[in-house]
Structure 1
Amino acid sequence: MVTVAAAVSALTPRFAAAGIDTARLDARLLVAAVAGIRAQDILLRPDLELTVEAEERLAEFARRREGREPVSRILGARGFWTLDLEVGGATLDPRPDTETVIEVVLERRKTPPGRILDLGTGTGAILLALLSEYPQAVGVGTDLMPAAVDLARRNAARCGLGGRAEFLLGSWTDGVTGPFEVVVSNPPYIPAADIPVLEPEVRNHDPLTALVGEDEDGLGCYRILIPKAVAVLAPGGLLVLEVGIGQAPAVTDLMNAAGFEHLQVRADLGGVDRCVSGLLPS
């Protein structure tokens, strides 16, 4: 039998040869999953031996990762903010960059919101993270995909937030009744022409409907959802939008034209301008 430390050492160069930048981390996550321990426990228990069944599962996991399937999709779960979320083929794989949306809401919302709306909720990640930070708030998430709505509901229950989160099937604010103190969204924003150059983990495993923005410049969803957000936001309400690389100036202009004030752009940890936010007049 192989030990967990030896398994990590064996997988790391294989993943690196496949072009995976996070080779050692991914190896640790997969080995820990089949061993039934936390990834950090590999350092504490390096001589723990894998069972035959665990080795067989690891071989399958390794094959999939070498094919550039994301670890989260292999394991069926992803950590986001302080939550552990189920992921599925109908939604984007939540990424750390999107946590910038949570940070902006927490910084800009001076009083706890009563109601939060998440447009294009996917896994429910943004809404559920905000509800975990605002224990008195309730929220609504909308999505066009029935499988996404079902997944978001399961994640709400998984996180103990099912009683405060409602997920609706529909386009943007269709069927939604305001007002909300906070509206958030991570809409599709990648121009279709850019899809072929994305990392295989994204272009081959995230659904195109959640990636490709409307209109040639990828900004079509913002042109639609910003006016809709105005209609359901309370006076003084906050809108926070995730944006793609280089899109912050254009989205800022769209929000300004819709009447938002005190517009701000926030970079993610990688230095990319990732969020545009603004307040409706009180």
Structure 2
Amino acid sequence: MKPVARALADATRQLSETSDTARLDAELLMAEALHIDRDRLLLNPPDREPPKRFWTMVKRRLKGEPIAYITGRRAFWNIELHVGPGVLIPRPDSEVLISSAIEHFEGTKGPGRILDLGTGPGTLLLAALDLWPEATGLGVDSSRRALSYATANSRRLGFEKRARFKIGDWAEGIKDAFDLVLCNPPYVAESEELGPGVSEHEPEEALFAGPEGLDSIRRLAPEIPRLLAPGGLAAVEIGASQGKAAKKLLARAGLKATIAHDLAGRDRAILLSWV
């Protein structure tokens, strides 16, 4: 067995005690340590001893630190984002908001102006700007650290002339209307248990939202009608058990609300448009 294959097998055995994705974790860490992508690692692994850095990263993962913090990056939709401690890690569940927007604007030139409330490292806004090259957007977050990542990601992806970021408390002070409003608010109930490493490492303020997980959605609900332009779409991410309650909160002032589901069929977003 070649050294890299042997190291991957050993790391997978160790990580299986704390991770449900032990083999994938080991491959992602090895690819990062070797400065190659995972596809190349799997198809044409180098015939060499793994760098010591690989085992350092494995130890960090064994302590529950998220892979994205260890590698410093996370793929989302068609882009790759740089992330780090103190910033919410982009998740595949949030891609439902992007796919819903694509469906809504199908057959049109797409949204001209995009708003991302709680943008984090720029996740939803930058993915949308990548899809609609003529669009411009505004990302808002209460965390200066998150916005530093968002600004850097925008610059690295070549969107700095089309994206603007500002620190803020949700939609406070925003007077314009937007064709597409995206939001992944905190929606975890205070008593809810999360997967290993999540609450220990990711920012609490980006996860939890009161006893039912609906506090942030309650704050957003009265703001969305004034933010959404005619013909536009607002997409708000929710927890899998919150569809009925969140829909009731958000369907107001003439807005039609529907529930979008993730690939597992779970409630994942509330979509709002003008009737």
TM-score range relative to shorter protein: over 0.9
- What is the 5 A alignment of 1:244-263? 244-261=239-256, 263=257
1:276 paired to 2:270: yes
1:160 corresponding residue in structure 2: 158
Q: What does 1:136-155 correspond to in 2, within 5 Å?
A: 136-155=134-153
In the alignment, which residue of structure 2 is the partner of 1:238? Answer: 233
Q: CA contact under 8 A between 2:68 and 2:84: conserved in structure 1?
A: no
**SS of match in other structure, 1:193:** coil
The answer to whether structure 1 residue 68 and structure 2 residue 64 are counterparts is: yes
Q: 2:220 matched to 1:221?
A: no
Aligned length: 272
What's the counterpart of residue 104 of structure 1?
A: 100
Paired AA for residue 69 in structure 1: E
What is the SS of the residue equivalent to 1:68?
coil
Pairing 1:4–2:4 present:
yes
Give secondary structure in 1 for the equivalent of 2:236.
Answer: strand
- Residue 252 of structure 2 aligns to which amino acid in structure 1? A
Decide whether the 8 Å contact of 1:5 with 1:47 is kept in 2: no
CA deviations over 1:189-245 (Å, ceiling 9, x no partner): 111111xx21122111110000011x4211111111121121122123211000012
C-alpha distance in 1, partners of 2:142/2:46? 48
Alignment-mate amino acid for residue 261 of structure 2: A
TM-score by length of 2: 0.94
Contact 1:248 1:265 in 2 (8 A): yes
Match of 2:258 among 255, 264, 273: 264
Q: Is the 8 A contact 1:241 1:275 kept in 2?
A: yes
Q: Distance in 1 between matches of 2:227 and 2:136?
A: 15
CA deviations on 1:125-180 (whole Å, 9 max, x unpaired) are 10100010011100001001111111111111111111111001011112323121
State the TM-score, normalizing by the size of structure 1.
0.92
Task: Say whether 1:92 aligns with 2:88.
Answer: yes
Which runs of 5 or more residues in structure 1 are unaligned? none
Aligned-partner SS, 1:177: coil
Paired letter, 2:113: R
Residues 79 and 135 of structure 1, relative CA distance in 2, 3 Å threshold: same
The aligned residue for residue 27 of structure 2 is 28
Query: Equivalents in 2 of 1:280, 1:91: separation in Å?
Result: 33
CA contact (8 A) 2:98 2:128 kept: yes
Output the CA distance in 1 between the equivalents of 2:246 and 2:268: 11
Aligned-partner Cα distance in 2 for 1:271–1:22: 22
- TM-superposed deviation, 1:47: 5.0
Tell me the amino acid that sits aligned with residue 83 of structure 1. Answer: I
Paired with 1:158 and 1:121, the residues of 2 have a C-alpha distance of 17
Partner of 1:16: 16
Q: Structure 1 residues 171 and 64 mapped into 2: Cα distance closer, same or farther (>3 Å)?
A: same
- The answer as to whether partners of 2:187 and 2:213 remain within 8 angstroms in 1 is yes
Aligned twin of 1:48: 47
For residues 59 and 221 of structure 1, the distance between their equivalents in structure 2, rounded to whole angstroms, comes to: 40
- Does structure 2 conserve the Cα–Cα contact (< 8 Å) formed by 1:76 and 1:88? yes
* Cα distance between partner residues in 2 of 1:234 and 1:212: 29
Q: Which amino acid is the alignment partner of residue 170 of structure 2?
A: W
Q: Secondary structure at the match of 2:239?
A: coil
After TM superposition, give the deviation of residue 3 of structure 1 in Å.
2.2
**CA 1:46 to 1:181, structure 2 compared with 1: closer, same or farther past 3 Å?**
closer
Q: Secondary structure at the match of 2:254?
A: coil
Find the aligned partners of 1:167 and 1:76 in 2 and give their Cα distance. 21
Structure 2 counterpart of 1:271, one-letter code: G
Q: 1:70: how far off?
A: 1.2
- Which of 158, 182, 188 is 1:190 aligned to? 188
Gaps of 5+ in 2: none
Q: CA RMSD in A?
A: 1.4
